[in-house]
Each structure stands twice: as structure tokens, then as C-alpha cells.
């Protein structure tokens, strides 16, 4: 995997792929048919990839050990795929250059030579297409006129070899003479070989005791992914190939990350279905000293749930833990708040390089706010105080961003512990973050991250700062958001603008742009209030908060609801009541529900939930009524009362001979009786895909064209017949399933409680 561009400082944690060399070497006569040329049947080989060599059906056991079979897979699928790639490119490839010998004589596979080979392929394409040498390819170089045979090329003259691979590929694509190569036979053959690899590897990795070690299996699958990407980049030929057995790698790399003290809740949702991203995350350090063995993919088991247990810590990089603690005079904070101002901290240099810190009103001044995770050592719930070492560190950081006289605002020192004035300070938070010169993120893990741009992006996405609720508010409200890394603070926009990997490894798969997009989505501002609400619920799903009642406070702030309009702090019911329209998708979120009449349909929290997307259109709205949520959707009306079995989880509903669908309860609930029931589908129309979210309601009463009903449970429509789109492949078998009679209706209006 040496071609993937792993940062030099972390390569030692990458996978080393041994070259086994026990099986016959690849013969260069074609990947398809290689097993048969050596007396095996390719269809049977994956059956013997369980270490116990259990038979499948009538397959015969192989007379070799598992190491031989694994070596055979390496020769056949890894070297075979590489050889097929060379045939597509039309340039010979020396397989021996990919086998290296270690310091003690061990052989291993190294793919560094793949990069110069791909460069030669790109150059060949330029020559083949007669690309003009006067073509501007960007900042790397300006290609000059072609030399005659009598001209000697000097060191200062540009050539194809001087140009970055990215620029070479851009030049290929920009060439006016560009056409897809014809005939396509070589690409069809390559595509068939890829299918053979996937067809073989997926069942081979399903065995619980598969013979394939992670290094061998991943090297085969990632080579295929890399070559697919090269073919697309250089030849603009896409390959319709089934994905790898991703679950195998997700669990194996997950184990490696757990061994490195990564928290699964921090990493699981980050570029979660990208093979290169999965590998890249696994080699990065967590900068954690505490194991996270008990953490799930949604929440961290080590997170503190008692805010009073948190305390400020010294900066042990510069302090022995005995420096003075600065205690802010709370009365000064109160006086400034009473005068309609906002308190902050100013650093004043005296004679002899001594410094004093003074509480000042930041209104109309340049100030920088600190966004931090309280458990990282900068929080203090009991007093407005911090160790001097921390305050000096914060001023060093903000003075590198702003002027030497820039003022510091951090909630620990600027929000009084007095409850009355704490509320006043919290009502000003939106203005504080929006008007700041900048908001600086301080995360104990991110401040240890070095210069590598891609690592910075991935570490930011995996950071604990990205998993807390208050920091979501602070990041979204900031006009200029900075992230403090080890050597410098970088603006988020600048970080995202560096989309290209600085080396040419991008040609094998680019995760830099997806990482930038993921970062931007976290801080994107939706103008339409309904869209903003659903966008926030998506981002909040993987976040948490120590004080549960803080959730509606943050929601109100981010939804532009003035906190002053609430008597104390807002509740979730207050949030729903304050909005003129609501997103219909709220009804279909599988979150815990409020137990309040009129709101029994409504999520009680959006935190620590399974991630989701929203589906309603920009003009599709739901309205809050006195009796519940009014929504217009497609539905299925049951003709009889429902009586569910305690042992069966999915059911068929049939309307005549042509329309049949199967649904299941995706929350694991079984049994129960429901009178006068219906299923409301998260869809409007008559044609749709086979997977649709739905809710079961009962006690339907029709008044003035509206069905008033009670919310009961969430469902998922799994398979359709008759209403499905043509491309959906559906199993409509009815064996061993309960069947109910129902009537599909394209649109009805409901009021759901």
C-alpha cells in the first residue's frame, strides 16, 4: 500500500504485505483461467478459505495447507490484476520490481514503483493524442515547443517528466483531440478480471476463520480500487464493479484502531464507506492514552456525565502544575453584563515584560473566542478561573491570529456562575460568536497534529470537538473559524481549499476532496429554516452533551430563536411551538419520543442517534396543530384490525393480485394489536424505490378531511411489487409470512399525536 500517500511520520503503522511465494508464480497468460491452468477450479477456491477447510456442498478438500492457498490467491489475484493493468496501458511492467527484500531477508510487496509507471502511462497518452506542448497546465510548469531531433534539451527546459502527474492528467483531459480509445476490448477484459477478483474475494472473506490475513486481502482489494481509479483518471473509462466485502475491513481496521486507543464513536461516521479512508484512519495516532474498549459507534463510554466532576488543568508542556491560578472577579463580569456589555480578558504588558490580565468590555473591539471541549482542561464549572499557564497559552495562540492587543473571550472566564447572570451571558452567545474577529478551536488531540493537510482534515473530522453539542453551535456561528494544530492555527476555509494531495498519489484514489466536503457540510448555513432544522438534526446525531437540558438552548440559538422570549430556558416543546412550519421528516426519525399529549410523535432528543438523511422537498412542510403534527403523505389503510405475532417481525400487505409489499419493524418491537390502523409512508406519489420509512398509527378518526390518529411505532417498507420502479429487483415470496389486506392511497392528510 506504499502508493497511497500515507504521511511519512505514520508509515510505520501501515500494513506490511508479505510476499508468500509458496504457490506457482503468475504466468502472464491471463488472470481468468489461471487456477485451471494449475489444476484447480476457480469457482471452488473460495470454498476452502476457512482455516478449518469445511466443505461446501460437494467440493473436495485441497491437498495443501492454508498458507499455500493464500499464496495462490496472491499470485493469481494480486499479480494477475497488475499484469492485466499493464495490458490495458500497453506498457510492459516488471513484476519483480514489486517484490522487496527486508533487512533480515524476508520478502514483502512494495507498490512505490506503481507511481512512476502510471506517470509513464499518462505521458504515453499525451504522445498518443499529440497534445500540444504549448498547453498551459497550471502552476507546475508551462510546456514549451516540441524539440527537433537536433535540439539538445537543457535542464531549464520543461518536459513532460517535469510536470506533476495531476497536471499531466489534466493535460490529457484538456487535449482537443481527446477521444476514448477504440476498440474497448481491452477495457472489457480488464473489467471482467475485476469482476472475477470480487467474485472470488467476497465469499473467501465471509468465513469466520478465513485464511486470509488482513494484509493479503486488503492488498488485493485496494489494488483493484486503485487501478479502477487510474483507468478512470487517465482513460475516462468507468468500471461497473461490485464493491469489496467492506464489512470485513471495517471490523479488522476497527480492531486496529481500538488497539491504538481510538474511540469508535469518533471515527465510525467519518468517510465510513471509503476503503482508502478506512486504511488512512487506521494508521493515524489517536493521541489518546486511555483505551476505549467499551465504546460503541454512537456514544463514548468514557465521557463524563457530571459537569461538576470537571476541573481546569495546567498546561503540562510548559508548567509543572504549580503555577498561579487566575481568578476573575465575578462582580466585574456582572457589572459589564448589567451595562449591556460583554466581558472578556485583555492582556496588558507592563514595564519589565510583566503582564497583567484585566476584565474588559469587548463590545466594539477585536476579540477572539475560544471553542473547546470542557473536559480537555479549559473548563471550570465552579469558578471563573484558569491556571496562568493556560491563559498565557491562549494569548499566544490568539495573538498569532489577531493583533498583539486582541482580547480573549472564553466561556470559562466570561460566563458568570451566578445563575441570573449566567442566563444573561448565554442569551448573548450568538452575538459573541458572530461578531468575533475569529473563533479558535482548541482540542487536546488536534494541537498535536502536524503539517500534513490530509491528516489535519481527517483528525478534525474524528476529533472530540466535532462530537460535542456546544461546539456545533460555536463552529456554525463563527464568521472565521480557526483550528489550532501543533505548529499553527489554520482557517477552516483555507484547510478545505487545499483539496489536492500534494503528492501524485491522488491518482489512486482521492479522499482529500471528500474530507473537505464533509467538513464544509458540518458548517454549512441553510437559509431556509426548515432545511436548517433538519440539517442540524443530522449533525447532532453523532454529538453529545453533559447537561441534557442544554440541547434545546443550543437548538434555539442556531435556529435564530431569541432566548429572551422564554421564561427560563427553552424546552424541546418550546422549540417545536416556536416554528411556523416543521420538517415532515421529523415524524420519521427513530429517536426517543416525548410523552406529552400533542407531541407524542416528536423526538425528545436528536443527540447520540443513528445518522440519517432528510427526504422532503423544499416546499414540503408539516404544521403543528393543537392535537399533533399535520402532515400529507402516501399511506396504506388497513382493512381490518392488526394483531401482530410475538414471534414474527415482518408482514405482507396485499391490495389485490398486483400490489404487494413487505414491511418490518426496524426497532425490534413485536406483538401488539392495533385498531383502525394505517401506515404513513415518508413519500408522496405512486412510484418509488423499495426502501421507504414509515410509521404505524391507529385510532384513526376522520374529521374535515383530516385523519386524526396516534403514533405507535416506526416501520421500514422493505420490498414492493406493483408500485416499485422497474429497476428494483424484488422478492415477493409469501412463505411463512402473515398477510394483511390494505389499500394504498397516494395522498392523505393526517394529524399525528
C-alpha cell at position 432: 459573541
Q: What pLDDT digit, counting tens, does each position of 361-402 carry? A: 999 999 999 999 999 999 999 999 999 999 999 999 999 999
| The pLDDT value given to residue 664 | 62
Q: What pLDDT digit, counting tens, does each position of 91-111 carry? A: 999 999 999 998 889 999 999
C-alpha cell at position 233: 483518471
Cβ atoms of residues 500 and 506 within 8 Å:
yes
Tell if the pTM clears 0.85, that is, is over it: yes
Q: What pLDDT digit, counting tens, does each position of 170-211 carry? A: 777 666 555 555 556 889 999 999 999 999 998 888 877 788
When pLDDT is averaged across residues 247-258 and rounded to a whole number, the result is 92
The answer to whether residue 734 scores a pLDDT higher than 60 is no
Looking at per-residue pLDDT, the higher value among 117 and 41 belongs to 117
The answer to whether residue 134 scores a pLDDT higher than 90 is no
Residue 197 exposure: Cα atoms within 13 Å on the Cβ side: 33
The closest of 204, 246, 244, 250 to 73, measured between CA atoms, is 204
| The pLDDT value given to residue 149 | 36
Looking at per-residue pLDDT, the higher value among 727 and 267 belongs to 267
Residue length, the chain? 753
* Residues of the chain above pLDDT 90, percent: 56
When pLDDT is averaged across residues 573-592 and rounded to a whole number, the result is 94
Distance of CA 688 to the CA centre of its chain: 27
The answer to whether residue 118 scores a pLDDT higher than 60 is yes
How far is Cα 723 from Cα 305, in angstroms, rounded to an integer? 48
| The pLDDT value given to residue 143 | 38
The closest of 652, 657, 669, 750 to 710, measured between CA atoms, is 750
| The pLDDT value given to residue 147 | 37
| The pLDDT value given to residue 739 | 78
Backbone CA torsion sign across 638, 639, 644, 645: negative
* Residues of the chain above pLDDT 70, percent: 84
For residue 358, list its beta bridge partners.
346
Where do the domains of the chain lie?
Answer: 2-111+184-244, 130-174, 310-523, 532-618, 626-753
Select the highest-mean-pLDDT range: 61-70, 82-91, 183-192.
82-91
| Helix/strand/coil for 720 | strand
Amino acid at each position: 500500500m506504499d502508493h497511497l500517500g500515507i504521511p511519512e511520520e505514520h508509515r510505520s503503522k501501515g500494513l506490511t504485505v508479505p510476499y508468500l511465494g509458496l504457490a506457482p508464480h503468475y504466468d502472464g497468460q491471463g488472470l481468468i483461467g489461471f487456477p485451471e491452468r494449475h489444476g484447480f477450479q476457480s469457482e471452488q477456491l473460495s470454498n476452502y478459505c476457512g482455516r478449518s477447510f469445511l466443505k461446501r456442498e460437494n467440493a473436495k478438500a485441497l491437498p495443501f495447507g492454508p498458507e499455500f492457498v493464500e499464496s495462490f490467491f496472491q499470485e493469481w489475484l494480486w499479480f494477475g490484476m497488475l499484469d492485466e493493468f499493464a495490458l490495458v496501458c500497453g506498457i510492459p511492467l516488471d513484476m519483480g520490481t514489486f517484490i522487496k527484500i527486508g533487512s533480515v531477508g524476508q520478502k514483502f510487496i512494495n507498490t512505490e514503483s506503481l507511481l512512476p509507471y502510471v506517470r509513464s502511462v499518462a505521458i504515453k497518452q499525451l504522445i498518443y493524442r499529440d497534445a500540444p506542448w504549448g498547453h498551459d497546465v497550471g502552476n507546475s510548469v508551462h510546456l514549451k515547443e516540441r524539440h527537433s531531433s537536433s535540439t539538445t534539451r537543457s535542464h531549464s527546459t520543461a518536459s513532460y517528466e517535469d510536470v506533476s502527474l495531476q497536471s499531466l492528467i489534466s493535460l490529457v483531459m484538456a487535449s482537443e483531440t481527446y477521444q476514448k480509445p477504440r476498440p474497448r476490448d481491452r477495457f472489457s477484459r480488464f473489467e471482467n478480471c475485476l469482476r472475477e477478483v470480487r467474485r472470488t474475494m467476497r465469499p473467501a472473506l465471509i468465513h469466520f476463520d478465513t485464511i486470509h490475513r488482513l494484509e493479503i486481502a486488503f492488498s488485493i482489494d485496494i489494488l483493484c480500487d486503485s487501478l479502477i481509479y487510474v483507468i478512470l483518471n487517465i482513460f475516462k473509462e468507468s468500471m461497473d464493479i461490485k464493491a469489496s466485502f467492506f464489512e470485513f475491513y471495517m471490523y479488522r481496521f476497527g480492531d486496529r484502531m481500538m488497539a491504538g486507543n481510538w474511540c469508535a464513536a469518533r471515527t465510525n461516521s467519518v468517510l465510513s464507506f471509503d476503503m482508502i479512508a478506512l486504511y488512512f484512519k487506521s494508521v493515524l495516532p489517536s493521541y489518546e492514552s486511555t483505551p476505549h474498549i467499551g465504546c460503541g459507534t454512537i456514544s463514548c463510554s468514557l465521557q463524563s456525565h457530571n459537569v461538576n466532576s470537571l476541573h481546569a488543568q495546567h498546561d503540562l508542556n510548559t508548567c509543572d502544575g504549580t503555577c498561579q491560578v487566575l481568578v476573575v472577579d465575578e462582580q466585574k463580569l456582572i457589572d459589564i453584563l448589567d451595562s449591556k456589555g460583554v466581558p472578556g480578558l485583555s492582556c496588558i504588558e507592563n514595564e519589565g515584560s510583566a503582564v497583567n490580565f484585566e476584565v474588559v468590555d469587548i463590545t466594539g473591539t477585536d476579540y477572539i473566542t475560544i471553542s473547546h471541549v470542557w473536559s480537555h482542561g479549559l473548563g471550570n464549572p465552579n469558578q471563573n478561573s484558569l491556571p496562568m499557564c493556560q491563559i498565557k497559552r491562549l494569548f499566544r495562540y490568539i495573538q498569532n491570529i489577531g493583533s498583539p492587543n486582541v482580547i480573549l473571550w472564553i466561556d470559562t472566564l466570561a460566563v458568570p456562575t451566578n445563575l441570573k447572570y449566567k442566563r444573561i451571558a448565554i442569551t448573548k452567545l450568538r452575538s459573541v460568536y458572530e461578531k468575533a474577529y475569529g473563533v479558535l478551536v482548541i482540542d487536546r488531540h488536534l494541537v498535536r497534529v502536524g503539517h500534513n493537510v490530509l491528516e489535519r482534515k481527517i483528525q478534525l473530522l474524528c476529533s472530540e470537538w466535532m462530537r460535542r453539542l456546544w461546539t456545533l453551535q460555536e463552529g456554525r456561528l463563527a464568521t472565521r473559524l480557526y483550528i489550532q494544530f501543533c505548529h499553527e492555527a489554520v482557517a477552516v476555509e483555507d484547510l478545505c481549499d487545499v483539496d489536492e494531495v500534494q503528492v501524485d498519489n491522488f491518482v489512486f484514489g482521492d479522499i482529500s476532496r471528500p474530507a473537505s466536503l464533509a467538513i464544509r457540510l458540518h458548517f454549512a448555513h441553510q437559509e431556509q429554516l426548515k432545511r436548517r432544522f433538519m440539517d442540524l438534526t443530522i449533525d447532532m446525531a453523532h454529538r453529545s452533551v453533559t447537561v441534557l437540558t442544554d440541547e434545546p438552548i443550543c437548538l434555539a440559538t442556531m435556529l435564530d430563536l431569541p432566548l429572551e422570549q422564554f421564561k427560563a430556558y427553552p424546552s424541546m416543546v418550546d422549540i417545536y411551538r416556536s416554528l411556523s412550519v416543521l420538517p415532515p421528516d421529523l415524524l420519521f426519525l427513530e429517536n426517543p419520543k416525548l410523552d406529552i399529549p400533542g407531541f407524542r410523535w416528536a423526538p425528545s432528543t436528536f443527540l447520540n442517534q443513528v445518522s440519517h438523511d432528510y427526504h422532503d422537498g423544499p416546499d414540503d412542510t408539516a404544521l403543528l396543530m393543537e392535537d399533533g403534527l399535520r402532515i400529507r403523505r402516501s399511506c396504506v389503510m388497513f382493512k381490518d384490525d392488526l394483531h401482530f405475532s410475538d414471534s414474527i417481525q415482518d408482514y405482507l400487505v396485499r391490495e389485490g393480485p398486483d400490489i404487494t409489499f413487505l414491511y418490518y419493524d426496524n426497532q425490534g418491537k413485536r406483538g401488539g394489536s392495533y385498531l383502525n390502523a394505517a401506515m404513513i409512508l415518508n413519500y408522496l406519489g405512486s412510484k418509488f424505490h423499495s426502501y421507504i420509512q414509515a410509521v404505524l398509527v391507529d385510532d384513526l378518526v376522520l374529521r374535515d378531511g383530516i385523519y386524526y390518529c396516534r403514533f405507535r411505532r416506526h416501520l421500514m417498507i422493505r420490498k414492493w411489487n406493483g408500485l416499485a420502479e422497474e429497476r428494483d429487483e424484488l422478492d415477493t415470496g409469501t412463505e411463512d409470512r402473515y398477510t394483511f389486506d390494505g389499500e394504498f392511497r397516494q395522498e392523505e392528510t393526517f394529524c399525528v399525536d
